[in-house]
Each structure stands twice: as C-alpha cells, then as structure tokens.
Amino acid sequence: MIAKSLGVAFVTGASQGIGKAIAMRLASDGFKVALNDIPSKKDNLEAVARDIDSKHNHGSYVVPGDVSQEAEVEAMVKKASKALGGLDVMVANAGIIGPIQPLVSISGDEWDNLFRVNVLGAFLCYKYGARELIAGGRGGRIIGACSYAGKQGASFISAYAASKFAVRGLTQSAALELGEHGITVNAYAPGMISTQMVASLVGPNDERNYTKILPPYAKPGQPADVASIVSYLASKESHYITGQTISVNAGMYFD
C-alpha cells in the first residue's frame, strides 16, 4: 500500500481531463492542491476546487495563469506556496495538441504557439517549481506531461510530437541537475486516453475511433489511469525513480 503523501501539490491544466483527474487523485492521497489553468477556465477550476473541498478537508487553492508567461508562472507558484504552506510536488500537465495537419502546411506562428505552451510552459513550471522546492529544503517531485507521440512520431502532429520529445529531454536533464536536492523529475506518456484533446485527433469519444490505433484487446484509457501513475510518482515510495518518462498506453507502443 502506498503511504499517505501529505504535502502540497501544484497541478497545471487542472480544469478538465487528465489534469482534473490528477488533482482529484492527489487530493485523495492527502495533498493540499493548487489548481491552475488559463484565466478563461477559472469557473471550471473553482468547480474542481469545490469538488475537492467537499470530499477532503485539507484544502485546495485556485490560481489561474498562463504557463507560457514567465512572470505569471513565477507569481502563481509563489502565491500558491504561500497560501498552502510550501510546495512538494509540481505537475506540469498543461498542454495543447496544436495544428493537426501536414508538416508542409504548419505555419511558423502555429509552431511557436504550441512550443510556448508545451515546452516553454513545462520549462517554466520545472524552473519555478524547482526553485520553490530547493528553498523549502525538503526535496520533492517534479512531474511533466509527455505523450506516446514523444516516444514515436506520428503523421499530421509533427509539432506536437516534437514538443513532447522536448519534454522528455528537459525531464532527463532536470533530473540530473536536481537530484542533489532530493528532487526527482519524471514524466508520464499517455496513449489513447478518453479526453477532449484525443477526441480532436481521432474523432468523437466512440470506441470505434480508437480500435484502429489500439491493440485488439485494449479499450480507450481514462484520465484516472494516468492519475494513478502520477500518484505513485508523487509519493515517497518513488524516490528511486528519476529521469523517466513512463508510458500509460495499453501496449500501443513499447519502449
């Protein structure tokens, strides 16, 4: 049994899908949870916070902000840490899929916008999460969002795949730098998880749209399947795992 991992977790992209599932799971594990997403999703964040607070009594905190803006990331991490009493886990979950089209049709602006969210956003969360963890002096966990497309490229999502390969490299480098502070850095790589983002790629959340991609025995995964891996990576028991990007994909891709 995984021991209760009491502490403070910060989850970006927490208003829906995998981010929401991660926030709910970490709250269930015993964490106080800071919930982040872009300001336009503040109402959704507050609904997640109410859900957490109705089930658990250790607290949540809503901190809207854009992960691609350095000043906002620095401010929201400091604000959440002050409100909740420090930081133990940073989950850099926020991301977008970007243009779904041939490589030759993607504009430079589309490429830059996707990289600002998926790569710069992850870097800024790692950077300011690490600063807060180092200042706290109690070690901690940094966990990023990769994808099966960050391990094997795929047609028509070249920008997205490239951004997720970048997250893997960032995760490995950060793990080497931050280990001396008792901080592990890992990432999760979901496959076909039933979310709005995946639906935009394969069509409506109908199992028939997934069977062309998944192994014959597999069904679409659920956000909770990813949240369970994050729960372990956030725990004390995961101390001997760092620099890894862990696949959650029902066997659609093998490392």
Active site residues: 160, 164
Interior CA angle at 189 toward 75 and 233, to 5°? 65
User: Do the beta carbons of residue 41 and residue 15 sit within 8 Å?
Assistant: yes
CA–CA dist 205, 114 (Å, integer) = 24
Burial bucket for residue 110 (CB in 10 Å: 0-12, 13-18, 19+): middle
Determine the Cα–Cα distance for residues 32 and 23; give it in Å rounded to an integer.
9
Q: Cα dist. 88→18, 114, 130 in Å?
A: 20, 28, 10
Pairing of strands 245-248, 31-35: unpaired
